[in-house]
Amino acid sequence: MRRLLPEPAAEVDPYEEYRVVGPWLRVGMVASLDGSVTDEERWSDALGGEADRRVFRTLRALADGIMVGAGTVRTGRLGTPRLPADLAARRGRPPAPLIVVSRSLDLDFSAPLFAEGDTILVTSDDARPPGHVRVVSAGEGDIDLPLAVHRLQGEHGLRHLLCEGGPALATSLLEADLVDELCVNIAPTLIGTRHRTPMVCDLDRRDLALDAVYEDEGVLFLRYLTGRPRS
């Protein structure tokens, strides 16, 4: 990977480049040139190739918790997070747990994702998930995302959160001004409208600050800061 901005460098280490200090909520996604976060199979794996996967795994290695929406889980293609040996060694602790955000609880709680590993379910106070599921509840009737993030970072020690989507969850976090950084990996691919999944749902305008740009195997890696107030 080479850095283009802010100071060009021919070779950089993604693990060091993406490292942050303190409480942080990062949204990470890959997108086609025409703005789709999924490919023809409605999944993101094949969009950015191996270059994107390297950064994807790096962001997971740096995070304390990985947030995903219920729709992503219902695809059945999401497994318990695992890291390559080199990243696992640099991390020096078990992989970050998945944090599934769901109000409806329309999920298969018998799946390995919940039956094995350390998956956390974020839901509302009045929801009734199965007893074997680790739960963080926040809000009556609906999920209070600011309270949920506060509890994840403060009470559960998951200070560095990574949201991997989908678009609905990313939009909700942005609307609630909870996002510190948006990492968008732009694949050199056009998907077209037939298979296009937008990066975010209905969202009021947000102006972000470009913080860094990298390139690897034709994929552009863009890092934007939201400038949200820090506590």
Report residue 15 as tokens. Answer: 């693990």
- Residue showing tokens 């800061």: 225
For 66-116, what is each residue's pLDDT tens digit?
Answer: 999 998 898 877 888 899 999 999 999 999 999 999 999 999 999 988 987
Q: If you average pLDDT over residues 180-189, what whole number do you get? A: 96
Residues 6+ apart with CB under 8 A from 116: 80
Number of DSSP helices (H) and strands (E) in the chain, helices first? 7, 10
CB atoms within 10 A of CB 156: 15
Above 90 in pLDDT, residue 199?
Answer: no
Of 41, 5, 57, 8, residue with least CA distance to 209: 5
Domains and CATH numbers, the chain: 23-225 (3.40.430.10)
Q: If you average pLDDT over residues 176-197, what whole number do you get? A: 92
Share of residues in the chain with pLDDT > 90 (%):
74
Residue 230 binned pLDDT confidence (cut-offs 50, 70, 90): low
pTM of the model: 0.94
Report residue 98 as tokens. Answer: 């998945």
At 171 the pLDDT is: 96
- Residue showing tokens 């195997």: 217
Residue 39 binned pLDDT confidence (cut-offs 50, 70, 90): confident
Strand partners, 100: 68, 121
**Cα–Cα–Cα angle for 120, 230, 175, rounded to 5 degrees:** 60
Residue 47 binned pLDDT confidence (cut-offs 50, 70, 90): confident
Average pLDDT, the chain: 92
- Residue showing tokens 């769901």: 102
For 145-170, what is each residue's pLDDT tens digit?
Answer: 999 999 999 999 999 999 998 899 99
Residues 6+ apart with CB under 8 A from 104: 70
At 231 the pLDDT is: 52
At 180 the pLDDT is: 97
